[in-house]
């Protein structure tokens, strides 16, 4: 089946800096990707999604970039805040299904 993987397990950034979290996927037919944020003891929280007909999508302080050529997507967080400290997952539903395949996650730590 499809696989979604993350390049780095941990990321530490200074408060106020920008954060970039990367994700690779293997299925070139994938057409929809979701980023989730999971704080300690809580369920995954939807951040932003992107469809394969887009290269970039922006939300509040977050931007997702999709590079279909190299099957890579990234989540950029602007002006990172302590409240952004969490584990971030990219996820991908199977074709025509609602079954999500998750990467292992990247733990973002914000240094005050």
Q: Catalog residues that contact other proteins under the rule CB under 8 A.
A: 31-32, 34, 36, 42-46, 49, 51, 89, 91, 93-105
CA nearest to 107, candidates 39, 34, 46: 39
Question: Least Å distance between CB 103 and other proteins?
Answer: 8
Q: Measured from the CB atom, is 66 or 103 closer to other proteins?
A: 103
CA triple 72-92-6, angle to 5 deg: 45
Spatial distance between the Cα atoms of 57 and 20, rounded to a whole number of angstroms: 14
Between 69 and 97, CB nearer to other proteins: 97
């Amino acid at each position: 089946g499809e696989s979604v993987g993350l390049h780095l397990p941990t990321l530490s950034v200074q408060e106020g800096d920008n954060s970039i979290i990367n994700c690779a996927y293997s299925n070139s037919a994938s057409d929809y990707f979701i980023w989730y944020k999971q704080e300690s003891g809580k369920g995954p929280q939807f951040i932003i999604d992107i469809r394969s007909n887009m290269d970039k999508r922006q939300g509040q302080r977050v931007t997702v970039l999709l590079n279909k050529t190299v099957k890579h997507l990234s989540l950029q967080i602007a002006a990172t805040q302590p409240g952004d400290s969490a584990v971030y997952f990219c996820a991908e539903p199977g074709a025509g299904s609602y079954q999500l395949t998750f990467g292992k996650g990247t733990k973002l730590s914000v240094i005050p």
